[in-house]
Amino acid sequence: MMAEYSAFSLLANALKGNKDWKPAWRKPDPKASYDVIIIGGGGHGLATAYYLAKEHGITNVAVLEKGWLGSGNVGRNTTAVRSNYLLPANTRFYEHSMKMWEGLSHELNYNVMFSQRGCLNLAHTPAQFDDYARRGNAMRHLGVDAELMTPAQIKRLIPALDFSSDARFPVVGGLMQRRAGTARHDAVAWGYARGADRRGVDIIENCEVTGFLRDGDRVTGVTTSRGDIRAKKVAVAVAGSTGRVMRLAGIETMPIESHVLQAFVTESLKPFIDTVVTFGMGHFYMSQSDKGGLVYGGDIDGYNSYAQRGNLPIVDEVMSEMLALFPGLARVRMLRSWGGVCDMSMDGSPIITTGPLPGMYLNCGWCYGGFKATPASGWTFAWTIAKDEPHDFNAPFTLDRFHRGLVIDDKGQGANPRLH
């Protein structure tokens, strides 16, 4: 049994020269069969394994990860956690996630550093302010916190914003969700991995799924770079690679395009902004990490890509928008950029469902909002796998909703994934 983490265990171990710490999770070889196989050792896959074990007592579970655990988008995002959506299906789901975040460090006995420093959407025209009011009121009517802020309040909160008279897009107000914030992204993967492992789940890294074992239509297991593994249920949680994995199961088309999203961080700075802030006249969001780096990003590059690398136009665009808000940052330096591959769905909302084949369960289509969804995604997916039907929270996120016209289109962009 692994030790609980606490200030006491830290001290006790420090006195022994930190020699007694044990691996955060085991490194087992795969067994021949499991009750459930989860493909994808990212945040969602690991959370699913954790809740299968904890909530449903299903512990004979393997999580198969092609590379190193958490190598996908859980380790590549800009760490924002919020539930400030417009449409009820999204708001309910993300608010469930938010509530889980609020207790997650204790739940996992792992400090995921969820810091509720708020998320502020800046409005730059009265019409946009009304739009945000619509969204904020939608949230309030579902019991989610939201408030409008005046320019004076915003100036007090973020003095570095451009409030000069010649600002191209002056700040006329904002929508604030105080309970929103940021978390330490890697810690979420590690915390769930450790939690799942402690409940008996096998986490198997460097194990690439190369095909599906089938009995007729039914999925009965997977072939992998480490041998065949059978399972009663096979769950797919590989956002970014959904197309590739589903193709292995003979499913050629999906309501998804894979796009690359770049993210950026500056060198470490003393505290500069306290909240997550978003720009209303473009696509830009920024927060500051505990280490002091400004973490920020913008739009996807805008074309299908699995390359985890972006190109310059978006770099230039994001930096230009950054300086339109914060003209004092011109001399601050961008330290690192990286790319992640996003499942851009046809309405900007995810898919968490049984099927599409018997014995298969699918979790995908997170666009670039997957990180904040991690707890609820794992929780509802575990429910769906265990009970063979969705929970109320994920019932709207079906795969057939597109064809049926039951889209959940928060941005109102229609079937154009690059615009969501």
Partner 1 sequence: MLITCPYCGPRDVIEFTYQGDGNRERPDPASQNFEAWNAYVYDRLNPAGDHNEIWQHSGGCRAHLRVVRNTLTHEISSVAFVRGDHGSAARRKAEDKP
Partner 2 sequence: MSPRRTDTGGRIDRLKTIRFTFDGVAYTGHAGDTLASALLAKGVTLFGRSFKYHRPRGLLTAGVEEPNALVTVLKGEVREPNIPATMVEIHDGLVAISQNRFPSLAWDVNAVNQLGGKILSAGFYYKTFMGPVIGPLKGTRFWMFCEHFIRRAAGLGSAGSAKDPARYERMNAFCDVLVVGSGPAGLMAAKAAADQGARVMLADLEPRFGGSTNWSGETIDGAPAAEWARRTVTQLQGRDNVRLLPRTTVWGYYDNNTLAALERVSDHKEQPAKGEPRHRYWAIRARSVVLATGAFERPLVFPGNDRPGVMLAHAAERYVNEFGVLSGERIALFTNNDSAYRAAVALKKAGAAIVAIADVRSELSAEMRKLATEAEAEVLAGHAVVATEGGKAVSGIKVQRFDMLTGALTGDERSIHADCLLMSGGWSPTIHLASQAGAKAEWNAARQAFLPPKPTQQWPTQQWIGAGAFTGSFSTAEAIAEGRAAGLAAAGGTSTPAALPTVEALPGDPDPAPVFEIRAKGKSFVDFQHDVTAEDVRLAHREGFVSVEHLKRYTTLGMATDQGKSSNVPGLAIMAEALSKPIPEVGTTRFRPPFAPVSIGSLAAERFGDLKPERLTPMHDWHLANGATMYSAGLWYRPMIYGLSGETIEQAYVREAKATRESAGIVDVSTLGKIAVQGPDAATFLDRVYTNMFSTLAVGKARYGLMLREDGFAFDDGTTWRLGEQDFLMTTTTANAGKVMQHLEYFLDVIWPELKVHVTSVTDEWAGAAIGGPKARQILAACVTDTAVDNATLPFMGIVRGEIAGVPVMICRLSFSGEMAFEVYSGAGHGTHVWEALIETGKPFGLVTYGLEALGTMRIEKGHVTGAEIDGRTTARDLHLDWMLSKKKPFIGSAMMDREGLIASDRLELVGLIALDNRPLNGGAHIVEALDEANPHGSIGHITACCYSPALGKHIALALVEGGKARHGTRAHVSDPLRNRFGPVEIVSNHFYDPEGTRMHG
331-360 positions binding partner 2, by CB under 8 A: 331-338
Residues in region 58-97 near partner 2 by CB under 8 A: 68-71, 75
Among residues 244 and 336, whose Cβ is nearest to partner 2?
A: 336
Among 44, 92, 96, 135, binds partner 2 (CB under 8 A): 135
Q: How many residues bind partner 2 (CB under 8 A)?
A: 118
152: contact with partner 2 by CB under 8 A = no
Pair 408, 86: CB distance under 8 Å = no
- Judge contact between 222 and 45, C-beta under 8 A: no
The span from the CA of 374 to the CA of 100, in Å, is: 9
Residue 244 interacts with which of partner 1, partner 2, none, CB < 5 to 8 Å by class: partner 1
Helix (H) / strand (E) containing 374: helix 370-387
Q: Cβ closer to partner 2: 117 or 226?
A: 117
Nearer to partner 1, 30 or 370 (CB): 370
- Selection from partner 2, partner 1, none that 243 binds (CB < 5 to 8 A by kind) is partner 1
x-marked contacts with partner 2 along 262-301 as a string, rule CB under 8 A: ----xxxxxxx--------xx-----x-xxx---------
Q: Which is nearer to partner 1, 292 or 302 (CB)?
A: 302
Indicate which single residue of 33, 59, 115, 304 sits in contact with partner 2 (rule: CB under 8 A): 115
Q: How far is the CB of 309 from partner 1 (least distance, A)?
A: 8
Q: Do residues 255 and 242 make contact, with C-beta atoms less than 8 angstroms apart?
A: no
Interhelix angle 185-198/43-56, rounded to 10 degrees, is 30
Residue from 132, 192, 361, 397 in contact with partner 2 (CB under 8 A): 132
Element (H, E) at 195: helix 185-198
Tokens at residue 373, please? 């969804």
Measured between alpha carbons, how far is 57 from 46 in angstroms, rounded to an integer?
A: 15
| Coil/strand/helix, residue 54 | helix
What are the strands, taking DSSP E only, across 144-251? 147-149, 173-177, 181-182, 202-204, 209-215, 218-224, 227-236
Residue 255 contact among partner 2, partner 1, none, beta carbon within 5 to 8 Å by kind = partner 1
Considering only the stretches 160-168, 252-260, 350-358, 386-394, report the one whose residues sit in contact with partner 2 under the rule CB under 8 A.
160-168
- Residue 235 backbone phi and psi in degrees, to 5: -110, 140
Report in angstroms how near the CB of residue 163 gets to partner 1 at its nearest.
31
Q: Which residues bind partner 1 (CB under 8 A)?
A: 241, 243-244, 247, 252-258, 302-307, 311-313, 346, 402-403, 415-418
Residues with Cβ within 8 Å of 387's Cβ and at least 6 positions away in sequence, in order, are 56
303 binds, among partner 1, partner 2, none (CB under 5 to 8 A by kind): partner 1
CB within 8 A of 98, min separation 6: which ones?
Answer: 81, 82, 83, 144, 179, 180, 372
Q: How far apart are CA 377 and CA 40, in angstroms?
A: 13
Closest CA relative to residue 371, chosen from 119, 79, 120, 85: 79
Distance CA 152, CA 171 (A): 10
Which one of partner 2, partner 1, none is in contact with 291 (Cβ closer than 5 to 8 A by kind)?
A: partner 2
* Residue number with CB closer to partner 2 (220 or 353): 353
Between 177 and 345, whose beta carbon lies closer to partner 1? 345
Binding to partner 2 by CB under 8 A, coded x per residue (else -) over 201-240, reads ----x-----------------------------------
**Interface with partner 2 includes 106 (CB under 8 A)?**
yes
CB of 116 or CB of 363, closer to partner 1: 363
B/e letters for 365-396, b = 16+ CB within 10 Å, e = fewer, are: bbbbbbbbbbbbbbbbbbbbbbeeebbebbeb
Q: How far is the CB of 258 from partner 1 (least distance, A)?
A: 6
Query: Which of partner 1, partner 2, none is residue 213 near (CB under 5 to 8 Å by kind)?
Result: none
Q: What is the dihedral angle through the alpha carbons of 374, 418, 122, 316, rounded to the nearest 10 degrees? A: 110
Site for partner 2 in 2-31 (CB under 8 A): 5-7, 9-11, 14-15, 17-19, 21-25, 27
Nearer to partner 2, 220 or 266 (CB): 266
Among 28, 55, 141, 388, binds partner 2 (CB under 8 A): 141
